[in-house]
């Protein structure tokens, strides 16, 4: 691919299957996948580990200045250390939205995300890809799914990792996350006016990925 990097922006609520679909689309196109949720999760993990609560404060501001965050392919490094499964725990699920709603936290991650799209072609997924981070993206997709469907998927994933959870708990956490992600002042989760909406209930990962690939091909013609 030559010239300006291609940017495919995918937004949607927690558990809509964005990351699996985005990774698949990136693979099919032979370009990189940028998981912006991992950046928010890594930062929440870091701040929580330092007992810095999710509220704008001097200590939060200092921590955000001091911490180094790097993206290496699909990996995220915090202060030079690679983060792994620990950012996907039920604890981080429960607190990440509160950190992600803070303008200080969002500002800290904005240029980092944009730089990725300046350097190379990417498929980026998150909540504000098409609205804030990459408003000029070549293809913009919004992937909704009902909360029950999303909770079922998340429950299965946690079960397969032997995490002890109840379905009702997972459903409530998904609903709580939706409220925080959609209700926040800065960069709330919403569909960009020029995004294509693809509801994923009842569709397989392949079907969703194929629909996105068809849109990408149509745009790059
Ligand atoms: O996609 P995810 O579940 O890994 O995202 C984790 C949290 O990060 C989610 O609750 C909302 C937040 N997030 C965000 O606010 N903006 C993004 N671009 C990506 C994630």
Q: What pLDDT does 206 receive?
A: 94
15-40: pLDDT as tens digits = 888 999 999 999 999 999 999 999 99
Question: Which of 93, 127, 188 maximizes ligand 1 atoms within 8 Å of its Cβ, making it the mutation to test the pocket?
Answer: 127
Phi and psi angles of residue 3, each rounded to the nearest 5 degrees, phi first: 75, -150
Distance from Cα 20 to the centre of ligand 1, integer Å: 14
Task: Establish whether residue 184 lines the binding site of ligand 1, counting it when its CB lies within 6 angstroms of any ligand atom.
Answer: no
| Segment (H or E) for 171 | helix 167-183
Rounded Cα distance between 140 and 123, Å, is 10
Which atom, in ligand 1's list, is nearest to the CA of 184? 15
Q: What pLDDT does 133 receive?
A: 98
Asked whether the predicted pLDDT for residue 54 surpasses 70, the reply is: yes
Asked whether the predicted pLDDT for residue 48 surpasses 70, the reply is: yes
90-117: pLDDT as tens digits = 899 889 999 999 999 999 999 999 999 9
Task: Establish whether residue 36 lines the binding site of ligand 1, counting it when its CB lies within 6 angstroms of any ligand atom.
Answer: yes
Contacts of residue 167, defined as CB under 8 A and 6 or more positions apart, other chains included, come to 151, 152, 155
Q: What pLDDT does 177 receive?
A: 87
Q: What pLDDT does 2 receive?
A: 54
Q: What pLDDT does 175 receive?
A: 93
Average pLDDT over residues 54-78: 94
Distance from Cα 207 to the centre of ligand 1, integer Å: 24
Distance from Cα 221 to the centre of ligand 1, integer Å: 32
Encode 106-164 in three state secondary structure: HHHHHHHHHHHHHHCCEEEEECCHHHHHCCCCCEEEECCCCHHHHHHHHHHHHHHCCCC
Task: Establish whether residue 117 lines the binding site of ligand 1, counting it when its CB lies within 6 angstroms of any ligand atom.
Answer: no
Q: What pLDDT does 151 receive?
A: 93
Asked whether the predicted pLDDT for residue 1 surpasses 70, the reply is: no
Average pLDDT over residues 59-73: 95
């Amino acid at each position: 691919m030559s010239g300006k990097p291609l940017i495919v922006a995918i937004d949607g609520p927690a558990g809509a299957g964005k990351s699996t679909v985005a990774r698949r689309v990136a693979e099919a196109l032979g370009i990189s996948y940028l998981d912006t949720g991992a950046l928010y999760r890594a930062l929440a993990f870091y701040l929580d580990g330092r007992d810095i609560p999710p509220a704008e404060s001097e200590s939060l501001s200092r921590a955000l200045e001091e911490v180094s965050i790097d993206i290496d392919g699909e990996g995220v490094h915090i202060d030079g250390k690679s983060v792994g499964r620990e950012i996907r725990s039920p604890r981080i699920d429960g607190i990440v939205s509160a950190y992600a709603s803070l303008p200080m936290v969002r500002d800290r991650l904005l240029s980092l995300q944009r730089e990725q799209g300046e350097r190379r072609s990417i498929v980026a997924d998150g909540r504000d890809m098409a609205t804030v981070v990459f408003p000029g993206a070549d293809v913009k997709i919004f992937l909704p799914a009902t909360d029950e469907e999303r909770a079922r998927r998340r429950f299965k994933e946690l079960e397969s990792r032997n995490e002890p959870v109840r379905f009702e708990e997972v459903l409530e956490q998904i609903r709580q996350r939706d409220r925080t992600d959609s209700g926040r002042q800065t960069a709330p989760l919403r569909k960009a006016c020029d995004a294509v909406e693809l509801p994923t209930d009842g569709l397989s990962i392949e079907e969703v990925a194929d629909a996105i690939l068809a849109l990408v091909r149509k745009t790059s013609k």
